[in-house]
Chains A and B, each alone.
Chain A
Amino acid sequence: DIQMTQSPSSLSASVGDRVTITCRASQSISRYLTWYQQKPGKAPKVLIYAASSLQSWVPSRFSGSGSGTDFTLTISSLQPEDFATYYCQQSYSTLWTFGQGTKVEIK
Chain B
Amino acid sequence: EVQLVESGGGLVQPGRSLRLSCAASGFPFDDYAMHWVRQVPGKGLEWVSSIDWNSDNTVYADSVRGRFTISRDNAKNSLFLQMNSLRTEDTALYYCAKDTSPNTSGSYIDYWGQGTLVTVSS
The interface of chain A, by Cβ under 8 A from chain B, is 1, 32, 34, 36, 38, 43-46, 49, 55, 87, 89, 91-92, 94-101
Contacts and interface: CB of A to CB of B under 8 A. Distances in A.
Nearest to A30: B106
Given A43-B95, A92-B106, 5 more contacts: A32-B106, A38-B45, A94-B59, A94-B104, A96-B35
Contacts of B115: 43
Given A43-B112, A43-B115, A91 B44 contact: no
- B contact patch SS: loop
Interface residues of B, number: 23
A interface SS class: loop
Contact of A1 (B35, B62, B108, B113): B62
Contacts of B104: 91, 94, 96
28 contacts: A1-B62, A34-B108, A34-B109, A36-B109, A43-B114, A44-B109, A44-B112, A46-B110, A49-B108, A89-B45, A89-B47, A89-B108, A91-B104, A91-B106, A91-B107, A91-B108, A94-B57, A94-B105, A95-B47, A96-B50, A96-B104, A97-B47, A98-B44, A98-B45, A98-B47, A99-B44, A101-B44, A101-B45
